[in-house]
Chains A and B, each alone.
Chain A
Amino acid sequence: MKDVPEAVFEFLKDKDKLEDWIVVFPNTRQGFFLDSLLAKYGLVFPPRIFPVNEFWRFLLSRLMNFSYADFDDVLVILKDCVGRYIQEFRSWDTFYPWSRNIFHTIEELERFCIEDSAIEDVHRWLVGHSEEDLFYRIWRYMKEIKEVFYNRLYEKRLFTPSLIRRLLLERADLLDIDAEGIVFAGQFLHPESDLRLIKVLKRRFNVVYMLFGIDVPRIQEKVKDLLEESIVDRHVIWKVDPDKVKVVPSLSGIDEIKGAVRFLPEEIRHPRQVGVILSRQDILLAFLDELGDRFGPLNVSLGFPVKVSSGYSFVELLFKLVENQRTGQVYYKDLINIFSHYYLLGLDPSFREAEYLIKTRSESEDLIYVELKNLPLKRESLDFIFELLDSVLTADSLGKLCESMTDLFWFILKENRLLKEDFLEQQVCYQIYLRLDKLRRSPLSSEDMGPKVAFRYIRQLLSEEDVAFEGTPLEGLQVMSPLQGRGLSMETLIYLDVNERFCPSDAGMDLLMPDQIREKLGVALLADRELLFMYDFYSEISLADRVYLFYVEYPDRRFARSRFISQLEFLARKKGKSLSYLDTLQETGSLPVMDVVDSQRKFEVDLVRLEKFSPTSIETYLACPVRFFYQYVLGLSTVEERGEEVDRRDIGTLIHAVLARLYRPMVGEKLSESFFMEAMGRSEDLVEEMVAEYWPKEKIISMRGRAVLEVIKERLRDFIEKELKRWREVGFSIFYVEDEKDSFLSYNFDINGKRIMLYGRMDRVDIMPNGEYVVWDYKTGGLPGIPNMERFRDYNPNMEAGLLLRENSAHVQLPAYVFLFSRNYSLPVDKVNAGLIGLKTLEYKTLFNNKIKDRGDLLDGFIEVLIRLFREMRDPGIPFSVNPQSCSNCGFRSVCNLRVD
C-alpha cells in the first residue's frame, strides 16, 4: 500500500525538469521522505516542496509585496474596527479576552465565503435569543466589522490566511510563477473551500491533486467530492486493519512512557522504522528523558511548550507581584517566590543570601518592598534587579512593561550561571525575551492597557509559544505530534495518550460561533474538525505495519479511553475478531511504585525549604509526607491547580475577599442589627464587584463560573443570616479582619541552632463579651475534626511526633493560631481561642471549651510535639514515606504511581 510520499515519487520520478515542479504536503516530514526516495533514485535537483501554510505565503509573495499578519498587528486594527461599531463598550479590558474569538470568527466566515446576508440572518435570529451583551453586539455589526477590518489589512499589506485565500481566488491569473505543475498531496482541510481553491488554481496551472480514501464510511462520504478531483484511483483506499493494532492500557503517564520505550527496538536503522506520536506536547521532555541516548539521533518535530517552563513560571510570579501590589508595596510572599526562583538564584551568591535573609526575618508580616531594598546587600546585580522589578511594577503601558521585562530577561540570560548549563531553559528564556521584544516594538505597545490586562495578554502569547527542536529528519526515531505522521507508512507506530481530549484533540468551545450558529451559516461544525483528525489518525493506523495504542486510565472520566479505540473494537467485531489488549504490567513491567522518598533523596533537598512551615504544610505532611515533598519541597502543582476551570481555590479566595471587605469597616466598631441587614442586601453586588478583581475574565464568563457565582451568593446570604443569629445570642465584636499586606503571624523556634519559622494567616479575630479573643478560619468545604487538646497533657514521649498528631485528628491549625496570636499580641493563652467557621454547613467549632482551665499547659505540650515534628521532618535519616490512606483524593497520585482501589 503506497503512502503519500511514495505516490508522489511514482508520479514525479521520470519527469523532465523535475526542479520546476512544486509539491505541497500537509507538513514538512512528507517532503523529507520524498527527498530520500528521489535521492535513492539518483536525482540531484529536487522539486520545490512546501508545507501547505508556507505554500500560500509563497503564492502571495509572487503576487505582491506583503507582510504576514501577526496577531499583535491584527489586534490593534481589530480593536479599532470593533470600536467604530461598539461605541458603548464599557471597558476595553472586556475586548482583549474576546479578541481572538472575534478574529477567528471573521477568518472562518471569510474562509467559507459566507455571504453578508447569511451573517445578517444570524443577527436577526439572535435578537430573540440573546440579551444586549457583547456577543449580540458583535454579530449585529459583524458584516461591517469584517469588511472594514479586511480593508484596513489590505491597505497595510498585512495578510491573514483567509485574506490570502481570498486574494488568490480573485487574482490567481496574475500569479507570477513559472512551474511545470503543482502537486497537492495527501490532505484536505475544509473540503468545500479546498475544492473551490483547487478549481481556481486549475484555471492557471497544471494542478495534480492526490488524496486517498479510508475505508471508514463517514470519512468516505466527507471526502467524496475531493476524491473526484484526485488522480489517485478513487477505489484505492487505505484499509484500517484492527488485526495489527495492539492496545496498551497504562496506570499513569510515567508508566505509559516507560512502556512505550520498552517497545522500541535495540537499534533504529532507518526513519520509517519507528514513529512515536505524542498526543500531549507536555510529556515530550519526560519521553526524551526516558529515551536517554540509547537510540542515537532523533527527529523531534514537536516543540517544548514554553507554558511548562521555568521561564513561564517566572512570568507568572511577576504577574502575581504586579497584581497583588498595593500603592507601591508588594506582598512578602510574592517577593519571596521571585527571589526563590531559579532565574534569580542562579545570578550570583548575593541572591541566595537575599533569599535567606528574606525568609528568616522574624518581622516578616510587615516586611515590605522598600525595606527589602535596604537589606545589607549591596551587590551591583542585586541593585540592578531591584531597579528592574521597580520598572516592571510601575510600567503603565504594554510597551513599558515589555521594555522592563525584556531588560530583566536579557540580564538573566546573560548573567544566570545555572541557565548556562541548562540549554533548554536558556532557549526558553531567549524565546521569551524575543517575543517580548517583538511585542515591545509592535503597534500594540502604545495601547492604553492596564498592567493586569497587559500581563494577561503577555501570558496568553507566551502560552502559545514552543521551543523548536532541531532534528535529523532522515535518521532515527521519528517523534511527532498527531498530525505530523499522516500519510506516512511506518513499520512500527507507537501512539501515546489515545485518550479523550487529546485524541481527538479537544477543539474547545468557540464562544462566538457555537455549533448552532455554524449550522445556520454552513461553516464547518466542531464535529467536522474531529472528522479531519479522524482522517489523519486512520491514515497513520492504516499505513503502519504494527500499531501500539497506549492510553492512560485517568481517574477523571473526561480523559477516558479515546473513542477511536472503541471504533477499532467495533471494526474488529464486524470482522468477527477482537481487538488485542496488552497488559501493561505483564508486557512492559510496571514502574516501581514510589512509596518512599528515600534518605538519599532527602539529603539532596534544599534544606531552606524545610525552614518555614505553615499549618497547612504541616497538615499536608501529616496526611502524607510524600505529598508534602512534592508540594512544598519540589514545588509541584496538581492538575487541578494548573487547570483553567473554576475550582475550590477560586471559590475560597473570592469568599474570603468578600467577607473581609464586608467586615473590615467594623473592626473596633460596635456591630448592630442594621449592619447585618445591610450586609445581606449588598452581598450579591459585592460578589460581582469582587469577582472582577479576583478571577480572570475567562473564568467569570464561563458557564461553570456563572453557576458557581450564584451558589456563592446564596451561601453568603445564609451565612450572614447565621452570623446575625449568633450575634444576637452571644454578642461579639470584630478585633481584626484579614488584610492583604499584614495578615501573617510568625514565630521563630531555635532548633539545634537553626531558626525554624511557624507562620499563619488569620481570617478574622472576634472579641467575645468575656474578653476572650477567638481566631477564626473560614472553611468553604466540610469542617475537619478538632484536636483533643487533653491528649497533649500527658503524651507518651516515646511516640513519634507525626504519629501522635495523626492520631489526634492531624489538625494543627487551631492550636498553632492560638500560639501565634498570643505570642504576637502578648496575650495570655487563657484569653485566646481559635475556631473554624463552616460556610457550607453554617457550623462554628472552637478549640477550647469553657471547662478547660489550663490552656497554657496544653498548648505547651502541643508546641513540644510540634518542635519534635520539625526535627523529624528535617532529619535526613527519616525518609518521607507514603501514607496510602490519603491517596484517594491526592492530586499527585499519578506521580507516585500507586494503584488505589
Chain B
Amino acid sequence: MLQVRIKREDVTRAEERAFGTYVHGVLELFLDKGISLEDAIEEYSLGIPYWLRDGYKESLIEFFLCIKRSKAFHQFLSLLKGAVVYVEKEMLGPKGQRFRLDVLAKKDGEVHVIDYKLGKESEEHISQLMIYYNILSSRLSERVYGWLFYLRPEGSELKRVI
C-alpha cells in the first residue's frame, strides 16, 4: 500500500549500527582534536544518550585497544603524517546530494579519501568509494586515491582500492 521508502530500522541490528556510529565519532574526535584515543572515547561517551550508555564505553575501549595494536592503524597514521587532514568533510554530488567523507587528506599534490568500515568486505564499499573518486577527480586538479579501512578487533586492514 505504502509507496515511499521508510527509514527502515532493522530492529535486531539497531544496536550494532549504533556502535558503528560511535566508532566513527571517536575517530573523528581523535583526528580532529589531535587527542589520544582514550581521551576521545572519554569525551565521546559524554554525548551518548544516557539510556544507551550501559556497557558502551567499555565496549568502545576494548574495541579501540585492539585497533590501536594493529598494523593497519600504524599504516593509517603514516598515511596521514604531514597531510592536511579533513575529518567528516562534506562533499556535493552532481545533483547536490551530500556525501560525508570519513577522512580526506591532502599531501604532496595528492588527495587520499579514507572510508571506515566495520564488518566484512563487500562490493558495495568499493562502489561507494568509486562515487567519491568520480566526484573529486572531476572537480579537483590533484590525483585522487581511495582507501578502505576495515576496523576489526581480530585483524584490521587498510586497503587501497583506487
Q: How far is the CB of A64 from chain B (nearest CB, A)?
A: 11
B95 to chain A: which residues have CB within 8 Å?
A: 36, 39, 474-475
**A438-496: which residues lie under 8 A (CB-CB) from chain B?**
438, 440-442, 467-471, 473-475
B140 at interface, CB cutoff 8 A: yes
Q: List 19 A-B contacts (CB under 8 A).
A: A35-B96, A35-B97, A39-B92, A44-B139, A44-B140, A45-B92, A46-B91, A48-B90, A288-B4, A292-B3, A423-B2, A427-B6, A427-B7, A427-B8, A442-B51, A469-B4, A469-B5, A469-B7, A474-B97
> Is B9's beta carbon under 8 Å from chain A?
yes
- Measured in the bound complex, the distance between the Cα atoms of B5 and A571 in whole Å is 41
Bound form: Cα–Cα A285–B4 in Å: 10
Q: How far, in Å, is B134 (CB) from chain A's closest CB?
A: 12
Complex CA gap A44/B99 in Å reads 10
What is the 8 Å Cβ interface bit string for chain A, positions 629-670, against chain B (1 contact, 0 not)?
000000000000000000000000000000000000000000
Contact A441–B50 (Cβ < 8 Å): yes
Closest residue of chain A to B11 (Cβ to Cβ) is A430
Q: Which residue of A lies closest to B93 (CB)?
A: A39
Given contacts A44-B140, A423-B8, contact A39 B94 (CB under 8 A): yes
**Contacting residues of chain B (97-150) with chain A, CB-CB under 8 angstroms:** 97-98, 135-136, 139-140
> Contact between A38 and B6 (Cβ–Cβ < 8 Å)?
no
Contact with B along A43-70 (1 / 0, CB 8 A): 1111010000000000000000101000
Q: Does B77 contact A (CB under 8 A)?
A: no
Q: Which of A44, A291, A426, A433 has the most CB of B within 10 A?
A: A44
Tell me whether A46 and B6 are in contact in the complex, defined as CB-CB below 8 angstroms, given that A35-B97, A438-B51, A442-B51 are known contacts: no
Task: Give chain A residues whose Cβ lies under 8 Å from the Cβ of B97.
Answer: 35, 473-474
How far is A540 from B6 in the complex, measured between Cα atoms in Å? Answer: 27
Chain A residues within an 8 Å CB radius of B4: 288, 298, 300, 469-471
B1 in the interface, Cβ–Cβ < 8 Å?
yes
Bound Cα distance from A663 to B22, whole angstroms: 64
> CB of A591 within 8 A of chain B?
no
Chain A residue contacts of B135, Cβ below 8 A: 44
CA distance A65 to B44 in the complex (A): 10
Q: Give the residues from 25 to 81 in chain B that come closer than 8 angstroms, CB to CB, to chain A.
A: 43, 46-47, 49-51
The contact string, 1 if C-beta is below 8 Å from chain B, for chain A 416-427, is 000000011011
- On chain B, the residues within 8 Å of A441 by CB distance are 50-51
Please give 15 more A-B residue pairs, beta carbons under 8 A apart, in addition to A45-B91, A442-B50, A467-B6.
Answer: A33-B96, A35-B98, A43-B92, A45-B89, A45-B92, A46-B92, A48-B90, A67-B50, A288-B4, A289-B1, A300-B4, A437-B51, A469-B5, A470-B6, A474-B96
A288 and B2 form a contact (CB under 8 A): yes
Q: Nearest-CB distance from A421 to chain B (Å)?
A: 11
B6: chain A residues at CB < 8 Å are 423-424, 427, 467-470
Number of A-B contacts (CB under 8 A): 92
- Please indicate the chain A residues that have their CB under 8 angstroms from the CB of B50 in the complex: 67, 441-442
Give the Cβ gap from A801 to chain B, nearest Cβ, in Å.
37
Please state if A42 and B11 are interface contacts (CB–CB under 8 Å): no
Q: A424, B96: Cβ atoms under 8 Å?
A: no
Q: Is A37 an interface residue (CB 8 A)?
A: yes
Kindly state the separation between the CA atoms of A44 and B89 in the bound complex, as whole angstroms. 11
> Which among B9, B92, B139 has the highest number of chain A CB atoms within 10 Å?
B92
B interface, CB within 8 angstroms of A: 1-9, 11, 43, 46-47, 49-51, 89-98, 135-136, 139-140
1/0 contact string of A74-112 vs chain B (CB within 8 Å): 000000000000000000000000000000000000000
Q: Which of A38, A45, A289 contacts B2 (CB 8 A)?
A: A289
Min distance, Cβ A297 to any Cβ of chain B, angstroms: 8
A378 touches B (CB below 8 Å): no
> What is the total number of residues of chain A having a CB less than 8 Å from a CB of chain B?
46
Q: Are B9 and A427 in contact (CB under 8 A)?
A: yes
Q: What separation, in Å, do the CA atoms of A46 and B92 have in the docked complex?
A: 7
Residues of B within 8 A of A285 (CB): 2
Residues of B contacting A39 with CB < 8 Å? 92-96
What does the 1/0 interface line of A399-425 toward B look like (CB < 8 Å)?
Answer: 000000000000001100000000110
A contact set with B: CB distance below 8 Å? 19, 32-33, 35-40, 42-46, 48, 65, 67, 285, 288-289, 291-293, 298, 300, 413-414, 423-424, 426-427, 430, 433, 437-438, 440-442, 467-471, 473-475
Residues of B within 8 Å of A45, CB to CB, are 89-92
When distances are taken between beta carbons in the complex, the residues of chain A under 8 Å from B90 are 19, 45-46, 48
Q: Nearest residue in B to A475 (C-beta to C-beta)?
A: B95
In the bound assembly, the distance between CA atoms of A440 and B52 in angstroms comes to 12
Q: How far is the CA of A44 from the CA of B90 in the complex (A)?
A: 9
Closest A residue to B50 by beta carbon equals: A441
A413 to B14, CA, bound (A): 13
Distance to closest chain B CB from A274 (angstroms): 15
| Contact of B91 with A44 in the complex, beta carbons under 8 Å | yes
CB distance from A174 to the nearest CB of B (A): 18
Contact present for B9 and A38 (CB under 8 Å): no
Q: State whether A38 and B8 are in contact (beta carbons under 8 Å apart), knowing that A44-B135, A289-B1, A437-B51 are contacts in the complex.
A: no
- What chain A residues lie within 8 Å of B89 (beta carbons)? 19, 45
- Nearest chain B CB to A139 CB, angstrom units: 33
* A470→B91 CA distance, assembly (Å): 20
Asked if A37 and B96 sit within 8 Å, CB to CB, the answer is yes
Measured CB to CB, the nearest residue on chain B to A467 is B6
- CB neighbours of B51 from chain A (8 A): 437-438, 440-442
Distance between Cα atoms of A36 and B50 in the complex (Å): 37
- B12 to chain A minimum Cβ distance, whole angstroms, is 8
- Chain A residues with CB under 8 Å of B1's CB are 289
Closest residue of B by beta carbon distance from A38: B92
Residue from the list B7, B11, B96 in contact with A36, Cβ < 8 A: B96
CB proximity of B5 to chain A, nearest CB, Å: 6
CB contacts (< 8 Å) of A35 on chain B: these are 92, 96-98
Q: How far is the CA of A156 from the CA of B49 in the complex (A)?
A: 14
A430 — nearest CB in chain B belongs to which residue? B11
CB distance from A448 to the nearest CB of B (A): 21
Q: Which residues of B contact A442 (CB under 8 A)?
A: 50-51
CA distance A440 to B140 in the complex (A): 51
- Complex: A475 Cα to B97 Cα, angstroms: 10
Given A293-B3, A470-B6: A44 and B96 interface contact (C-beta under 8 Å):
no
Please report the C-alpha to C-alpha distance between residue A45 and residue B3 in the assembled complex, in whole angstroms. 33
- Closest residue of A by beta carbon distance from B92: A39
Considering only CB atoms, which chain B residue lies closest to A33 in the complex? B96
Chain B residues near A46: list those with CB within 8 A. Answer: 90-92, 98
Complex CA–CA separation, A168 to B50 (angstroms): 25
Across the interface, which residues of A come within 8 angstroms of B47, CB to CB? 65
**In the complex, which residues of chain A have a beta carbon less than 8 angstroms from the beta carbon of B2?**
285, 288-289, 423-424
Residue from B9, B89, B96, B140 having most chain A Cβ neighbours under 10 A: B96
- Distance in angstroms from B93 CB to nearest chain A CB is 7
CB pair B92 A413 closer than 8 Å: no
CB A31 to nearest CB in B, in angstroms, measures 9
Cα distance, A35 to B139, chains bound together (Å): 16
CA distance A736 to B46 in the complex (A): 64
A413 to B12, CA, bound (A): 10
Q: Which B residues are in CB contact (< 8 Å) with A433?
A: 11
Given the complex, which residues of A lie within 8 Å of B96, measured CB to CB? 32-33, 35-40, 474
Cα distance, A300 to B94, chains bound together (Å): 22
Which of B9, B11, B46 sits near A65, CB closer than 8 Å? B46
Nearest B residue to A439, CB-CB: B51
Which residue of A has the minimal Cβ distance to B43?
A65
Chain B contacts of A471 at CB under 8 A? 4
With a CB–CB cut-off of 8 A, which chain B residues contact A473? 97
**Minimal Cβ-Cβ distance residue in B for A65:** B46
Complex CA gap A48/B100 in Å reads 12
A473 to B92, CA, bound (A): 14
The 4 closest A-B pairs by CB, nearest first: A36-B96, A35-B96, A441-B51, A39-B96
Q: Complex formed: what's the CA distance from A430 to B94 in Å? A: 35
Nearest-CB distance from A6 to chain B (Å)?
Answer: 13
Q: Separation in Å of the B136 CB from the closest CB of chain A?
A: 7
Q: How far is A438 from B1 in the complex, measured between Cα atoms in Å?
A: 31
Residue among A39, A65, A292, A440 with the highest chain B CB neighbour number at 10 A? A39
